Chain A
């Protein structure tokens, strides 16, 4: 196991280098003047251009630029934007908000998705089963920004006034529940369907029959024997989903005006703040890689038949 973890961690290095280089190249190798529009209506001051080019190593070849950027990154320096704002600080303030929302989304999709999956998996073709199938299909076919706008509008003061849908600049957990629900809605539908399929597959399994034959109570037959096996693929999905939720936050944060990573990256792209974009995407790549490593390790814990050598 230890050797496997080490090998996996070593594998992260080339993947990390490859993806970050790709991002860096996509942002900085575009044949466009990086200073266009950066100084209002006037062209930028040559002295400013010289200084920034020096700072961003724009005069070096792309590969050298990249490695210099990487070197700074490794000592925790994310660089500054064109108007001198520290990217590291920006990330530090928005990151926790997105992370909080991502975790809320994950919890909501896990609880609702798994519950719906179990209930429908155990009672196939009932009313509830059809209800869940139709509603998950509905959620899957709706783009997240539609779900977001509709819920925000109808639940908020302009609609049925059920709750305050606005989110402050330093949001509390309560404020993030609705955005979290919207963010997790798509995956929630997948989780429900995945759990359902898995339960349906396993409920006729021999070991379930054994548990019944042992005279174990129904709650244990389902809650321990059936569920433990059926949730293996679901937990794997949830693990990798944490990474995708971070990226998916761009739209949700836009809809709800949340100052998270998504908003930051959106503005970064609009304002052509290359340093901002590369910094955040690098971070997202890292989260995704670590999440998938965690899932692989978790898999061995959940299913003892899997051995890593």
Chain B
């Protein structure tokens, strides 16, 4: 088997604030290979974005501290690299697109400038070449009349177009891995589908690895190959997308799937997961999901569940993982 493009191993990150230490990541591990899409699923505050920012090296440190773990990109640990070497990886090795393209793009520079900047500064291209390449990139993300719109400012684009421009910018240096942090959350539903299609298409074309961070199960089902479900700074379940939807291996995933609105349940009350995610400054002992878990028993409060291997690369952090899967 070829080496994965990115291997995150037992990553621990904490935020030291005046109100105490928030343990945001408590041993996150996942891998992405070239040509593969990994979806990272979880509620707000589960640590999915923090993991991505740690991989990118754009976390504000302090208050954040990486206390343990490795992030290997093409076999080399990024965390031991110098700041300059890490900067080289950003954009060229790993690129990232953000949730709200309006605030993520610089309002006072044209879209063209922001794409060309990458080509000029990082690749040493001439102004004319950079402009030509930027138009090509905008064409690739299907912005109509790319040549005419390249001198527009971000606010002159519609929401979907802005996200396309953002994608074009992230592709400028032909990254091997693209991290998409909730790329469609700020968009309306029809545009969401277009952007997801575009991402899937580009990923296939370029044989890129992709990490798709989302809290939307529907989005995941369409484009992801594998899914990592996060809860309270841990991966609680990791599975092939088909397997996960067929039979979830963790009660949290199970509850998530049950809370999806379904057409055949029209008229019935929507199922929700009771309670709130735990405060990260005060994570409950044992399994962090135990206060909300419908299957919780004594052991869940006293003992942190180990990673259960369910076969075919499938894992779950639940004491009764085998039982949960079997019931699905």
Which residues of chain A have a CB within 8 Å of any CB of chain B?
A: 204-207, 209-217, 220, 225, 228-229, 232, 302-305
Taking a contact as CB atoms closer than 8 A, the residue among A214, A220, A225, A302 that contacts B90 in the complex is: A214
Shortest CB–CB separation between residue A20 and chain B, in angstroms?
A: 38
Shortest CB–CB separation between residue A235 and chain B, in angstroms?
A: 12
Q: Which chain B residue has the least Cβ–Cβ distance from A221?
A: B87
CA distance A54 to B201 in the complex (A): 88
CA distance A229 to B153 in the complex (A): 14
Give the residues in chain A near B95, CB-CB below 8 Å. 213-214
In the complex, are the beta carbons of B89 and A207 less than 8 A apart?
no
Q: Which chain B residue has the least Cβ–Cβ distance from A207?
A: B106
Q: How many residues on the B side are at the interface (Cβ–Cβ under 8 A)?
A: 28
In the complex, are the beta carbons of B107 and A229 less than 8 A apart?
yes
CA distance A229 to B105 in the complex (A): 12
Taking a contact as CB atoms closer than 8 A, the residue among A206, A211, A305 that contacts B103 in the complex is: A206
In the complex, are the beta carbons of B108 and A215 less than 8 A apart?
no
In the complex, are the beta carbons of A214 and B169 less than 8 A apart?
yes
In the complex, are the beta carbons of B107 and A215 less than 8 A apart?
no
Among B117-125, B230-238, B274-282, which stretch is in contact with chain A?
Answer: B117-125
Q: Which chain A residue has the least Cβ–Cβ distance from B100?
A: A206
Q: Which chain B residue has the least Cβ–Cβ distance from A304?
A: B153
CA distance A232 to B108 in the complex (A): 10
Interface string of B149-168 (1 = CB under 8 A from A): 00001010000000000000
In the complex, are the beta carbons of A225 and B106 less than 8 A apart?
yes
Judged by a CB distance under 8 angstroms, whether B98 is at the interface is yes
Give the residues in chain A near B91, CB-CB below 8 Å. 213-216
Q: List 5 A-B contacts (CB under 8 A).
A: A206-B103, A212-B58, A215-B88, A215-B90, A217-B87
Interface string of B80-109 (1 = CB under 8 A from A): 000000011111100110101001111111
In the complex, are the beta carbons of A213 and B105 less than 8 A apart?
no
Shortest CB–CB separation between residue A252 and chain B, in angstroms?
A: 35
Supposing A206-B103, A210-B98, A220-B121 touch, asked if A304 and B88 sit within 8 A by C-beta, the answer is no
Give the residues in chain A near B103, CB-CB below 8 Å. 205-207
